[in-house]
């Protein structure tokens, strides 16, 4: 049930542990499942009290995280008038019940705890909130809220610390090299995956200008080169996604994609790669140690990698872009960031970005071969994405799997294309 650029939505409403019935279905104009602002607005107006989306509980149709019909668990923050507590049917009770691997912010008590922490932290920082938090996004990887203060908005981001970088620490690393490259951290609770960030004015740089590319790409390179040179990259305690570590992890991933998995404890799902694809992928895996050596010979240092350095994570108000969203940061090869914008740019803009990246590395590491590194790194980068997507699937509850199901196999196919 895909309605052009939107989708339809259904809601199961609760308050304080009691079930208050269904709301909807209704249409929203934003197609992305994780973009819940319009859902919050519509349900709040209908029930007469503020609400928050707790999590996605089901989806029919759509693909790639957008379109179709989405169903959410929504919690009222105050008791709605005229809605009595009722007994949900068995199917609904199962949807709203406990589940393994549920994110902390995907339960009413965890969501309230995160918002309470943010209010306390802002008060301690001398920026008490002046209104109710605005929920912008929620899904299995993060939740995002905008909190108004007299000094301008602050942003609460919540992530799962079990498989994500400690964002405030990574921002601190890059910020020590270039303070203007990163957002300002107002407070952090890394053990619970919480960070408060100051507002970054402007817009995300989808379709970046030549000037934006020429500014942000060399600045990232300069920061990465500095972190590698002084040893802070290796000492940062980040996930090891260096080329050798990736090459060592790929065979086990291919075994999983061949045999399937048991996400719900039932029958294993079918292998996601065809026999031909699997044979080709295993042959590629066997060639990876040699590829790693070729890549090392290009002379670029392993360093702190942003992990998702595409233009949607560059934000600008007309000046130099600020880079946001460091949850995927790791220790790795800088070509992973160098290649990341490629899928988001047309050929002309990609050529400019690649040229800026290569020039910046040659300035920082004389004698290196950055163009050759970009040519070689493609298969490894895509296999790294496959491992990362599998990491997502291993840490999220079953109702959230439609966001990422099939992504590891798709990235293996892209690695095979890049290897050709």
The per-residue pLDDT for 6 is 79
Q: What are phi and psi of 288, to 5 degrees?
A: -60, -40
**With bands split at pLDDT 50, 70 and 90, how would you rate the model's confidence at 266?**
very low
The per-residue pLDDT for 264 is 42
| Three-state secondary-structure class, residue 258 | helix
- How far does the chain reach from its first CA to its final CA, in angstroms? 38
Does residue 259 surpass a pLDDT of 80? no
- Token duo for residue 418: 């890049």
327-349 pLDDT, tens digit per residue, is: 999 999 999 999 999 999 999 99
Does residue 4 surpass a pLDDT of 80? no
* 397 contacts: CB under 8 Å, gap ≥ 6: 99, 100, 101, 102, 103, 106, 140
**With bands split at pLDDT 50, 70 and 90, how would you rate the model's confidence at 63?**
confident
Q: What is the DSSP string of 364-386?
A: HSTT--HHHHHHHHHHHHHHHHH
The whole-angstrom separation of Cα 30 and Cα 10 is 14
Q: What are phi and psi of 371, to 5 degrees?
A: -60, -45
93-145 pLDDT, tens digit per residue, is: 999 999 999 999 999 999 999 999 999 999 999 999 999 999 999 998 999 99
The whole-angstrom separation of Cα 333 and Cα 188 is 27
**Domain limits of the chain?**
7-97, 106-198, 203-419
The whole-angstrom separation of Cα 105 and Cα 370 is 41
To the nearest 10 degrees (0 to 180), the angle between helices 370-395 and 275-296 is 130
- Token duo for residue 304: 């702190």
Q: Tokens 């299995």, residue? A: 140
Cα dihedral across residues 362, 364, 368, 373: positive or negative:
negative
Left, alpha or beta for 85 (phi > 0: left; psi -120 to 50: alpha)?
beta
The per-residue pLDDT for 260 is 59
383-416 pLDDT, tens digit per residue, is: 999 999 999 999 999 989 999 989 999 999 999 9
**pLDDT exceeding 90 applies to what percent of the chain?**
90
Does residue 269 surpass a pLDDT of 50? no
| pTM summary value | 0.92
Query: Is the link from the previous residue into 25 a cis peptide, with omega within 30 of 0?
Result: yes
12-62 pLDDT, tens digit per residue, is: 999 999 999 999 999 999 999 999 999 999 999 999 999 999 999 999 998
The matching CATH number, chosen from 3.30.479.30, 3.90.226.10, 3.40.50.1980, 3.90.1200.10, for 203-419 is 3.90.1200.10
| Helices (H) then strands (E): counts for the chain | 11, 15
Of 218, 262, 250, the C-alpha closest to 379 is 250
Residue 374's CB is within 10 A of a number of other CB atoms, namely 20
Residue-averaged pLDDT of the chain: 93
- Which of the two residues, 175 and 258, has the higher pLDDT score? 175
- Token duo for residue 316: 């600008």
User: Per CATH, is 106-198 categorized as 1.10.10.60?
Assistant: no
The per-residue pLDDT for 289 is 97
């Amino acid at each position: 049930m895909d309605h052009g650029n939107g989708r339809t939505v259904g809601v199961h409403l609760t308050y304080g542990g009691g079930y208050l019935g269904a709301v909807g279905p209704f249409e929203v104009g934003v197609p992305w499942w994780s973009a819940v602002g319009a859902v919050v607005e519509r349900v709040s107006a209908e029930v007469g009290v503020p609400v928050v989306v707790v999590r996605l509980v089901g989806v029919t149709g759509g693909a790639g995280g957008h379109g179709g019909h989405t169903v959410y668990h929504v919690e009222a923050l105050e008791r709605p008038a005229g809605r009595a507590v009722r007994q949900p049917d068995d199917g609904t009770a199962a949807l709203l019940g406990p589940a393994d691997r549920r994110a902390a912010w995907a339960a009413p008590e965890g969501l309230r705890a995160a918002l309470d922490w943010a209010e306390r932290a802002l008060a301690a920082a001398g920026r008490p909130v002046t209104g109710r938090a605005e929920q912008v996004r929620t899904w299995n990887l993060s939740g995002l809220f905008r909190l108004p203060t007299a000094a301008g908005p602050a942003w609460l981001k919540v992530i799962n610390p079990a498989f994500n970088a400690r964002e405030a620490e990574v921002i601190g690393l890059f910020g020590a090299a270039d303070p203007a490259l990163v957002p300002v951290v107002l407070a952090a609770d890394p053990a619970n995956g919480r960070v408060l960030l100051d507002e970054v004015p402007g817009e995300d740089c989808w379709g970046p200008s030549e000037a934006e590319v020429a500014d942000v790409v060399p600045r990232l390179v300069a920061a990465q080169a500095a972190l590698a040179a002084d040893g802070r990259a290796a000492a940062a305690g980040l996930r090891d996604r260096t080329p050798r570590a990736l090459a060592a992890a790929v065979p086990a991933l291919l075994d999983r994609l061949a045999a399937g998995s048991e996400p719900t404890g039932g029958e294993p799902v079918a292998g996601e790669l065809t026999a031909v694809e699997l044979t080709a992928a295993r042959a590629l895996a066997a060639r990876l140690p040699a590829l790693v050596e070729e890549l090392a010979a290009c002379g670029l240092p392993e360093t702190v990698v942003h992990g998702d350095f595409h233009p949607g994570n560059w934000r600008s108000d007309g000046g130099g872009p600020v880079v946001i969203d460091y949850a995927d940061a790791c220790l790795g090869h800088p070509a992973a960031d160098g290649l990341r914008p490629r899928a988001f740019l047309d050929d002309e803009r990609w050529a400019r970005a690649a040229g800026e990246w290569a020039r910046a590395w040659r300035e920082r590491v004389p004698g290196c071969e950055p163009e050759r590194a970009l040519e070689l790194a493609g298969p490894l980068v895509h296999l790294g994405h496959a491992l990362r997507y599998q990491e997502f699937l291993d840490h999220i509850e079953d109702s959230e799997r439609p966001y990422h199901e099939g992504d590891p196999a798709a990235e293996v196919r892209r690695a095979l294309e890049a290897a050709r």
